[in-house]
Chains A and B, each alone.
Chain A
Amino acid sequence: GAVVSQHPSWVICKSGTSVKIECRSLDFQATTMFWYRQFPKQSLMLMATSNEGSKATYEQGVEKDKFLINHASLTLSTLTVTSAHPEDSSFYICSAFSGESDTQYFGPGTRLTVL
């Protein structure tokens, strides 16, 4: 099946620093990738939709200047949390859309803890 990787799997950083999370589709090309945030014992909240070669589309309430998304190639999208604060601590999950199977495949997630 299609595989999506995320790196790092967990990160701890100081308040005010920036953190970059990578999302890769390993065996298929993904023109569209999605970034989600998940709070403990809750469902996934879509943050933004990332299209290769164009600007990301952010959901209402998500600060685009704080959560920078770059989709530079058909297999890589990055999410940068700028000037992170403790309230940004969360589980971030990416997914990549496979047009061949019309299915989203999810990465294993990145646990961000901001001290």
Chain B
Amino acid sequence: KNQVEQSPQSLIILEGKNCTLQCNYTVSPFSNLRWYKQDTGRGPVSLTIMTFSENTKSNGRYTATLDADTKQSSLHITASQLSDSASYICVVSFTSGTYKYIFGTGTRLKVLA
């Protein structure tokens, strides 16, 4: 069964600290993996997209890694800011006749001053 699991479910950190969010997937055949940031009451905004051959991609303070062998990805946030408080969603795409997106349930991050 194609699934995307994220951990932790929620996380609280202090401003300025780093954190790492995890995404494990069982999607096959894998096409690409994306990380989205979703502020409360808003639509998701893309942070990074990685294909099978890419194992790291950065977007400012956000760095995503991908291990296609173990089917794991992580999103590392450096020097967190209050504005990083949001849900972070991992989405894995695959092609099986048609193109599909499998969404994780997200990690809810709260950054405290």
A binds B: no
Q: Which residues of A line the B interface, CB within 8 A?
A: none
Interface residues of B (CB under 8 A from A): none
